[in-house]
Structure 1
């Protein structure tokens, strides 16, 4: 213990490097990420305005979509301000407790998004495989319970991560090679035994992302089987049209999620590539989700057009 620099015992601040190896172009990299965040915020805010206002959208899928939009806004708010401050103003310092708070909110919102995607897959499954009982199964009280369970699951399981990090006292560095505080990026700085932290991170990742992904895959396999059993091509096309947005969002979320999750633990990916992809994985889905669902729904498209036309006409 005597060989450890005392400044790294119970550190009060940490320094986020940003993207190692690309520090000279981080200023420029910030602009596309800023554009993605703007699209995400605008799109999800529009969804939160339109869905409560339109009675025809007061259905389980769109209620889940509104919760997903609120989650995505929170995710952008948790990541973007500090990340852009690092890229544009070299404001890299952050208190250790603020770092743990950011870590909690990012991972909790990420896990909540996964849970909402699972709930949407369940809604799609009921709508196609048992349409006559859809309204009786997914009642308002059941919807509320599902959302509360998703939120509690994410809060409790992810809450273990910063608690376990707080038990660590000695760190070989306070420089985090990332653009935001990520669990493994912080844990790897410790000089103490981190096996419990690693095991807990794996448990949280696979018990939420892995569990949700398996159930969503099973749901879509059953949905596809049910669609092919339909006798009319028009009914098949309508059913596939209902699922295409869900499938696209599911694929882009989980493929990037598991690449980011596994490469940080098991892979030999260049740090700059890993950080860029893990940031893209967190910020691109919030930007794509409202676009994908907005394009698929005529009511949302028309309301967006009306909002912009009214604003344009008033100028």
Structure 2
């Protein structure tokens, strides 16, 4: 596949990141700097269902196992199997990996070494998403707590975001966790993401995708419809210097001109623009040549 195996010309740039995309063909590694998309390659062949980054690499949930990918001295990715078995979702907390099997079994293990330990004696439900210690299932949201799982409400959850203020995308709408679950949008939602570089309890950058493809951003303390990157189905969003998205059909997108909220506000103040009214930013997109994409994760380059 030429679009995967041919590496794009890309010079070293300050602030460069690596994005990892889970697909039916495997894990695609994409190098980005701001809204510039550079070289990309297939770094692990597998049927990847989900992934999450750690300080040293990326953890992949595949049809065969939970695999940890880390860079060797030559910059190549090496894979280490963990013995979990087939997995549908994976998340990372400060100290642990959290993973879910197709039958709803959820287990944890230390990020470095150790064995998998089930969080419940029985499976909980069909797990659809894990972010940090937050788990989204068809029977609602669960939280990892004291070595077990606490059900914290909702039903038919499609995606969750644990950063700052917990968010849940469900068949009934978008919800945030405060004094109970409070509704933000009243339409079926399929994906949600929040910037992890945010003060706890404060929502700054966040996006949600509706079942009809509508993209909504949290701007000026309210959810506002913004331009979607493409007509294809957006399955995941992540944050770095700007906002990144990936579609089920394998298109990787970067929001041109966006920066973290505090930096954007300073720029707009100089330009005389109201930051909270910016819905006109454009996306830059590139096909990765893969299909059945299901997840996206961002990692800083050392």
The structure with the largest alpha-carbon Rg is 1
TM-score normalised by the chain length of structure 1: 0.25
Q: Which has the higher helix share?
A: 1
Could you say which structure has the higher strand fraction? 2
